Structure 1
Amino acid sequence: MSEITDMGTRRFGYVNWLGLYTLASREVQRFLSVWTQTLLAPLVTAGLFMLIFSIAIGPRRGDVMGVDFTTFIAPGILMMTVIQNAFANTSSSIVISKVQGNIVDTLMPPLSPVEMVLGYMAGGVGRGLIVALAVALGQLVVLGIVPVHPIWMLTFILLGAALLSAIGMVAGIFANKFDQMAAITNFIVTPLAFLSGTFYSVQALPPVLNEITHFNPIFYMIDGVRHGMIGVSDSSPWLGLAVGLGSVLAVSFIAWRMFARGYRLKS
């Protein structure tokens, strides 16, 4: 009787810690079990980006904001890799579960919508952090880049991974088929990542495009990591922190509402 009471207290009093841990652990084990696709492949892609841009553009591009071009794009490529993998982890997990018809295995246990959001997000953030660490180590060895402000760098990596994990949840819940998910990735997520100052300073953009870029929260994530890694940025890291926190909370709220209503999950 005491065991039942204890389970009820943990579940309905505050947080179902066991359930949350189980969901988070499942999401982490999911990408670790296929690490060659989820971890190794992104590292190879990031390395190829660095190599191609360094050879094709680097020698002729000159310095950007006082640093050489290869060093300037390194934080952008790192962050682009992080956000793509964080998005892919949550979105693919939900879409695959819906297509295979086993999403009910996540919906039936005594997990609140908040716990489901946090559990899925844990997997996306975990994958993003591991990829970030591996890319950062590679850039340290090859380019000798030592983070100037490591706390800022880690903060924006976490914010970026959390933001794209939340966006991945929203996209995964909305999409009912793989081609819908591919459309969201190709026409929304990828353009936002590439057009956020990944390979250039927004100071080089025309005034109108410069203003538009500042409405893109991913720009602040990339800019914040660049500040943390090499000490240069197009905007204040404090502004980026505020935008990042606000964006994570806003998108997480949307994901929470979708889980709470069972939108495109229970039909």
Structure 2
Amino acid sequence: MPETAPNAPLSMGARRFGRVNWLGLMTLAERENRRFLAVWTQTLMAPLITAGLFMVIFSIAIGPRRGDVMGVGFTTFIAPGILMMTVIQNAFANTSSSIVISKVQGNIVDTLMPPLSAAELLLGYLAGGVGRGVLVAGAIAAGLWLVLGIVPAHPVWAAGFIVLGATLMSGVGIVAGIFANKFDQMAAITNFVVTPLAFLSGTFYSVEALPPGLYGITHVNPVFYVIDGVRFGMIGTSDSAPALGLAVSGVATLAVCLAAWIMLARGTRLKV
């Protein structure tokens, strides 16, 4: 069998980088992380202040008149929910804004032209969303420890649900960013999909207090299980079994990431 010359041209569709283009993947992941770190006052400091304001407002307005919730004080109960709500909003914003801005500015081609597969593009974008979500979670968790003395009761569970929730909403952000062609469409998705999912998922209340109809709807919302899982990890109490929450949110994350991978592979609303 004749040997292939070292500098022989590659056949159509062949990749010079092997099965995984690690250099390209790491470059994209680094770009996505540097993107939000460059404006850390907006992407990291602002969410921390917003979470603090939520804590102060609810503690002053409701805390003194509200009894214990599931055996803990109201302020302690809502703290993990506010933490996770902030994480999922920022994870979603990171991936969705990155794609939409590139499409609006016309430089999405700079991401599509390099030899990156759909899976590599997906992982690169996810790295930025998860990185931002984890940093936001760490900053808020440190604040909860300093101000309220909350130390995670089950740190492994808390960390797992934080990463899983950030991955889930980063994937949703990729799908939304691919779908939206302008900022108005992105704002509509944020206002009518992401914000209701975050606020109506047991962030500020126990779902046991809901009427049967809303109770059933809440239990098919994967964001509820993410928030409930973080609450279990932070303060040791939850509305549902953590293992069930891990399974539901894990399946939802895989489904969303699969949808994002298919859209990236087909170039849906990305390639003209």
Question: Which category of TM-score, normalised to the shorter sequence, fits these structures?
Answer: over 0.9
1:165 is matched with 170
- 1:129–1:157 contact (8 Å) kept in structure 2: yes
For each residue in 1:12-51, what CA deviation from the matched residue of structure 2 results, as whole angstroms up to 9, or x when unmatched? Answer: x421100000000000000000001000000000000000
Say whether 1:131 aligns with 2:136: yes
Give the letter for the 2:143 counterpart. G
1:95 equivalent in structure 2? 100
Report the counterpart of residue 28 of structure 1 in structure 2.
Answer: 33
**1:103-144 per-position Cα deviation (integer Å, ceiling 9, x unaligned):** 000000000000000000000000000000000000000000
1:40 corresponds to which of 34, 45, 56: 45
Q: Between the two proteins, what is the percent identity of the paired residues?
A: 75
How big is the shift at 1:55?
A: 0.5
Match of 1:194? 199
State the partner residue of 2:152: 147
Deviations 1:65-98 (A, max 9, x none): 0000000000000000000000000000000000
- Check conservation: 1:62, 1:68, Cα contact below 8 A: yes
1:52 to 45, 54, 57: 57
Alpha-carbon deviation of 1:178? 0.2
- TM-score between the two structures when normalised by the length of structure 1: 0.96
Q: Is the 8 A contact 1:86 1:161 kept in 2?
A: yes
CA distance in 1 between counterparts of 2:160 and 2:55 reads 23
Matched residue SS, 1:63: coil
Q: Residue 205 of structure 1 is aligned with which of 206, 210, 217?
A: 210
Q: Deviations over 1:210-236 (max 9, x none)?
A: 111000000000000000000000001
Q: Is residue 231 of structure 1 aligned with residue 236 of structure 2?
A: yes
- CA shift for structure 1 position 3: 8.9
Distance 2:25 2:253 in 1: 19
Query: Which residue in 2 is equivalent to 1:19?
Result: 24
Please say if residues 15 and 115 of structure 2, whose CA atoms lie closer than 8 Å, have aligned partners that are also in contact.
Answer: no
Distance 2:38 2:72 in 1: 39
Stretches of structure 2 lacking an aligned partner (at least 5 in a row): none
Alignment of 1:167-186 (within 5 A): 167-186=172-191
Choose from 71, 77, 89 the match for 1:84: 89
How far, CA to CA, are the matches of 1:214 and 1:140 in structure 2?
Answer: 30
1:189 is displaced (CA, Å) by 0.3
Q: Deviations over 1:195-222 (max 9, x none)?
A: 0000000000011111110000000000
How has the CA–CA distance of structure 1 residues 96 and 64 changed in structure 2, closer, same or farther, with 3 Å as cutoff? same
Task: Give, in whole Å, the separation in 2 of the partners of 1:237 and 1:182.
Answer: 32
Partners of 1:220 and 1:3 lie apart in 2 by 53
Whose radius of gyration is greater, 1 or 2? Answer: 2
For normalisation by structure 2, the TM-score amounts to 0.95
- Which runs of 5 or more residues in structure 1 are unaligned? none
For 2:44 and 2:136, how far apart are their aligned partners in 1? Answer: 6
Change (3 A) 1:3 1:88: farther
Cα separation, 2, equivalents of 1:14 and 1:64: 52
Displacement of 1:4: 9.0
1:58-73 matches, within 5 Å, as 58-73=63-78
Which letter maps to 1:46? A
1:10/1:17 contact within 8 Å kept:
no
Q: 2:80 aligns with which of 61, 75, 81?
A: 75
- Over the residues paired in the alignment, what is the CA RMSD in angstroms? 1.4
1:245 to partner: Cα distance:
1.2
